[in-house]
Structures are given as C-alpha cells and as structure tokens.
Amino acid sequence: MTTNELERDLRTALRETLDAELGPDPRWADSPAARRAAALDRSRRRWPLRVLAVAALIGAGGAAALLAGALNQPPEARNGWIAYTVAQEGPAGADPELDIWFVAIDREPRRVIGTDSDAVDQLCPAFAPDGRSLAYGSVEGSGWWQGDAAPAPYRNAAVVIADVADDGTVSDRLTIDVGDGLPPPCPVWSPNGDQVAFGVPRTSSINPTRSGEGSEVWVVRLSDRSVSVVPDLLATDLDWSPDGSLLAIVGGVETASGEGVRDGLQDARIHLYAPSSDTIRSLDDTQGASFLTWSPNDGRIAYAVREGGRQVLRILDVETGRQEVITHGFQAIHGVGPVWSPDGERIVYQRMVRTERHEVVILTPGDRSQETGLAREVVIPPDDIDTGLFPWRVTWSPDSRYLLYRAWSYPNGYPTACCGLEFFEQQSWVAVSADLDGPSVVLTETDAGLAYDSPDTMRVPIQIWGRR
C-alpha cells in the first residue's frame, strides 16, 4: 500500500471515530473512502467480537496501517508505545532485515530503529520500567538458514540502550559490546531501571543435548557500565525480584564431579543471583524448570516444569522453599511460560489445543478449587479452530487490563491437501481485553514477518508495552 493509501485509511478511521461521537459528516457519508471503510468492516466480521475497539494494519516495506476507534478508549488504557520487531526482505535477495517498530493505540505504526539496507538485525526490544528508555539486541549476520545456504556468522553482538522521547523518537545512548559469534542478546530490565541482564549462549539455548559450559549471563550496571558475569550457565529465562536484589535464572550448569552434564533444558533448575555480592544459589528442588515469572508483589516465583511428558505450573516461595502446583497436565510448543500480571493478581499462560495452535489461559493463584486445590482458570479460546487467532507469545499491558498477543491466523481456512484452498498465514499483534466482556484495544495485521526472537536467543517478550 502506498503512503497516500495509508493516509487515506488513517483519515477513514479517524472519521469513523468522530462519526460515533459527533454524528456523520454529510461530505463524508457518500465518499469512496466511506464505502471502502464499510467494505473493510464487513470483511473483518469473521474476527472475534472481543477484537473491536482499535484496528491497525501494519507491514514492513509497503507499510500499511489502519487505526480505528482509538479516541473512544478510556485514558487509563493508554499505556504508551508497543515495541516489536518486523522481518522484511533484504536487498537483492539477502537475508531478512530485522528492524524495531513502535505502535500505540492513538499513533500509527512506524519504524524507529533500522533501515532497509543497514545489514544489522535489531530485535528483542524492552522498555525500561519508566518507559523513557529502550534496550534491544543488535547483531550483524542473520543466523538464519535461507534454503540450502548457510547463515552468515554472527558479528558484533551488542545490547543498545536508547532514549525514547514522548513522540516516540529513539536515540541510542549506550552500546554494550558482547562479541562475535554470538546471537543478539535479549535484555531484561531491573525494576528500578539501573541494570539490564541477558544471556550469552555459546551453544543454542533451544538445543536440549548441549550443556551450559561456556555460556554466561551478564548483568550490566548502566551508571558505570560495569559487567558482572555468571559463568557456565545456559539461560532459558530471566526475571528480577520486585526489589531488584535478585535475578532468577533458569538454566543448566556443568557438574564438577564428572558424573555427567547438567544441561540447559533437560536438567535445568532455578538459580538466584545477587549482583551486589556476586553470589549465586541454586534451587535443586526446581529441577526440570524451563520458564519462570516473579510475582511483582512478593517473594514468590511461578515456573513451568515438565513432568511425565506434560507441563506443570508451580509456585515457589523463595524464603521458605514451599512449593505448590497451580495447574498441570497441559502441553505447549510456543509461548514463554507463565507471565504474572503487573498487579500481581493473575498469571497467563498458553496451552496447545491442536498441532501448533494454542489457547490462552488466565489463572488466579489466590482462588483455588475446593475439589482439586488448583487455581481457577478462565480460557480465552480462538474464535475458530481453523481460522482464529493463535498466539506465539502472550504478555500483559502495564495496567493488567489487556493481553498482548503476537499471533497468527488462517484467513482462508487451515490448508488441506484435498481442497485447493488459497492459503496464507496472517501475522498479527492483538491486545485482547483480559476482561472477556470488555473491548480489545489493538489489532495489527501484516503479511510481513513479525519476529519474536532469533533461532538462538531466549524467548523474552516482556516489557515491550511501555508506560506513558
């Protein structure tokens, strides 16, 4: 879509909002743009009813956008920019370029970091807790296989800290060099914004047969750029305690006894690292952990662990060591494990419903079933098992009112071998109301790639919705 078409669609969306508030403009009612908007609205009625309030069509390259209904949203819903990564075709058939884009419920999508031909991948954006800074990973060389062609080796991996102005302008402030031969880091902010932590995998964090030997976790104090390194730890997830004194790390380490390798996935556990004293404590009772989330209100950690071929969610009280199961017996291929809501009341996770397709589940740890003792759950299923929204990643808005999906759908139905359907996969960012009776806020769709990580980095889509 051209820039003129983009502007026309934005005017269309804004006009619809004003019509709802003030009544239609006679000059608008019979215009071609109004008729096009009506046709577009009819085509969208297959989407779940919860995706109503604001829609945005985005794309890299021919960037197309449509934002509708933003002015109808209550002020408390406006939590600033959402940062995400878009993969687009590189020049002359080169590897895809990964750039960082911003969108907000009242602002059109736009690229803020990267260009069409800079030959640098920028990804894993994370807002600081105050929303005024952005940390992201940067690397040259894609690490992706293109057909039979081997990927270009990684070079100049770094974490970049940038300032974010109120209008969304981004300016790099600090670059933390990580080295060559390493994938782009995915930084995680401490609660007060004075430190970032990230994994430095020497072997792939998605390869279950590799050990943690040589891999590291870095903690960088931004005031003086000092780096603390946790050695021989292949991290699959990181999260800070609410007061920032401890960094919880899921990962595997080498044993010193020679009795075998404790691996990053098959034999992982939770480790608690204290940057102030440069000490680490391993929690052996958490063996088999894969993903974790720290309660924002207290010293509890919820984590995923595999038992008997299926996933279980547990809550661990760090001070007492007491553990309890909050749900069990599910499977997942995608996702980032459990994610605690910023208000500390609920946990969201996703589970498989068929093949790679997932549904989203919200559970309340403080509300237990008397029959099972497990946390009560609310399921947000896809609207349709063959066409509906299926999330790769799910996280929360800063006010805990919305769930942000990075998802895909099958607009023309799931492909079959028999029926010759024209098939393509539509990729989306959708902010879905955590209250099933409430409206959703943002819908983005594109046939460009919406990247969520690289082949070798942690799956960390947290802190991508910044506070305003």
Residues 29-58 have pLDDT tens digits of: 443 333 323 333 333 333 333 333 333 322
Q: Does residue 16 or residue 448 have the better pLDDT?
A: 448
Can you name the residues that pair with 465 across neighbouring β-strands? 82
Give yes or no for residue 8 having a pLDDT over 60: no
Instruction: Quick: pLDDT tens for 363-378.
Output: 999 999 988 999 999 9
Instruction: Quick: pLDDT tens for 359-418.
Output: 999 999 999 998 899 999 999 888 777 777 888 889 998 889 889 888 888 777 766 555
State percent of the chain over pLDDT 90: 36
Sheet strands (E) in 260-386: 269-274, 279-283, 289-294, 300-307, 310-317, 323-330, 339-340, 347-354, 357-368, 375-380
Three-state SS annotation for 388-401: CCEEEEEEECCCCC
C-alpha 199/C-alpha 186 separation (Å) is 7
What band does 452 get if pLDDT is binned at 50, 70 and 90? low
pLDDT at position 154, please?
87
> In this predicted structure, which of 15-19, 61-65, 302-306, 429-433 has the lowest mean pLDDT?
61-65
Burial 188-224 (b: 16+ CB within 10 A, else e): bbbeebebbbbbbbebbbbeeebbbbebbbbbbebee
pLDDT at position 449, please?
63
What band does 354 get if pLDDT is binned at 50, 70 and 90? confident
pTM for the model stands at 0.79
Give yes or no for residue 443 having a pLDDT over 90: no
Nearest to 306 by CA among 285, 284, 287: 287
Q: What is the mean pLDDT of residues 141-157?
A: 66
Pairing of strands 188-189, 170-179: unpaired
Amino acid residing at 277: S
C-alpha 174/C-alpha 177 separation (Å) is 10
Q: What is the mean pLDDT of residues 267-281?
A: 93
